[in-house]
Structure 1
Amino acid sequence: EMFGSQTFGIKPDIMVLSKQISSSYLPISALLINDKVFEPIADESDRIGTFGHGFTGGGHPVAAAVALENIKLIEERDLVGNARKVGAHLQARLRRLASH
């Protein structure tokens, strides 16, 4: 799967994506949150009239374009499927060493 939470059937409240979305070529990050986390933030932002946050890795158009292209390549080249296949081979070979 694309994310470990999918592999293990976990539904996180928050996911932070960082350098992996650009394969470390450019600094970019993303924060994914569910409604449980979003609602209080939206309510407080509405109350004070702004959404106060930092801009450390947020949304530069060049980094965003690189991230989108990187995700496209991951999907086109089925890198997740390849990792699954190679990972299964690695696990099988490692199991042979379990008794050592």
Structure 2
Amino acid sequence: YDILLVADEVICGFGRTGEMFGSQTFGIKPDIMVLSKQISSSYLPISALLINDHVFEPIADESNRIGTFGHGFTGGGHPVAAAVALENIKLIEERDLVGNARKVGAHLQARLRKLASHPLV
């Protein structure tokens, strides 16, 4: 359809679905991913926009043409928030929190399935 696919990973990103990003759970490859508070586990306000090459290349080409990256926002690139985000991602990886979410999620689903035949469900 020649449209961009945007995945809002603010709620389902960073391991909540048993994969690093919710879109990965369903094998979806978005053009743009929106990330927010989970990057820092809400310790500091931060957000990010991840884009694929198809989206990035025209932006980079135009930025090269005009001599600056045509992008900016209030409070962008705060060094303390960026440091907290990097440390948070490091902890997520070191402690295998995504793998733990996958394991706990499978256990929860198995237990919930047992309730499927309950008359109030």
Taking structure 1 as the reference length, the TM-score comes to 0.87
Identity %: 97
Residue 83 of structure 1 is aligned with which of 86, 101, 104?
101
What are structure 1's unaligned runs of at least 5 residues?
Answer: none
Output the TM-score relative to the length of structure 2. 0.74
Which deviates the most, 9-18 or 40-49?
A: 40-49
Normalized per residue, the structure richer in helix is 1
Q: Distance in 2 between matches of 1:37 and 1:82?
A: 33
Q: CA RMSD in A?
A: 1.6
Structure 1: 4+ residue segments shifted above 4 A: none
Aligned length: 100
Gap regions ≥5 residues in structure 2: 1-18
Q: Is the 8 A contact 1:27 1:63 kept in 2?
A: yes
The residue that corresponds to 2:26 in the other structure is 8
1:63 deviates by 0.5
What pairs up with 1:5-84 in 2 under 5 angstroms? 5-84=23-102
| 1:8–1:2 Cα change, 3 Å | same
> CA offset at residue 57 of structure 1?
4.9
